[in-house]
């Protein structure tokens, strides 16, 4: 399964405080099931805080505060 994400703009007041001002909220276009502990399972249309988009796999954080990697197939 691939997960394509669409940027929804800068994060306003990120709750965790871990993200800097350039962080963005992204929306999963497809569901993705993690296959190892470094990945994050996401649901279609789930909003995620983008932490690192410098690789082919993006590091994101979900609303529950869990972090992991998802494919960046945009």
Residue 8's pLDDT is 55
Per-residue confidence (pLDDT) for residue 28, from 0 to 100? 97
The CA distances from residue 15 to 18, 32, 49, 69, in Å, are 8, 24, 10, 19
Q: Where are the domains of the chain?
A: 1-11+21-49
The pLDDT, as a whole number, for residue 73 is 82
Specify the pTM: 0.72
* Tens digits of pLDDT across the chain (74 residues): 445 566 555 544 333 444 455 679 999 999 999 999 999 999 999 999 999 999 999 999 999 999 999 999 84
Residue 40 near residue 62, CB atoms below 8 Å: yes
pLDDT of residue 27: 97
Mean pLDDT of the chain: 82
């Amino acid at each position: 399964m691939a997960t394509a994400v669409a940027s929804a703009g800068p994060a306003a007041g990120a709750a965790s405080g871990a993200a800097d001002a350039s962080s963005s909220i992204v929306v999963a276009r497809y569901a993705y099931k993690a296959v190892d502990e470094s990945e994050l399972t996401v649901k279609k249309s789930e909003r995620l805080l983008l932490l690192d988009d410098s690789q082919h796999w993006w590091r994101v954080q979900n609303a529950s505060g869990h972090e992991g990697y998802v494919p960046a197939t945009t």
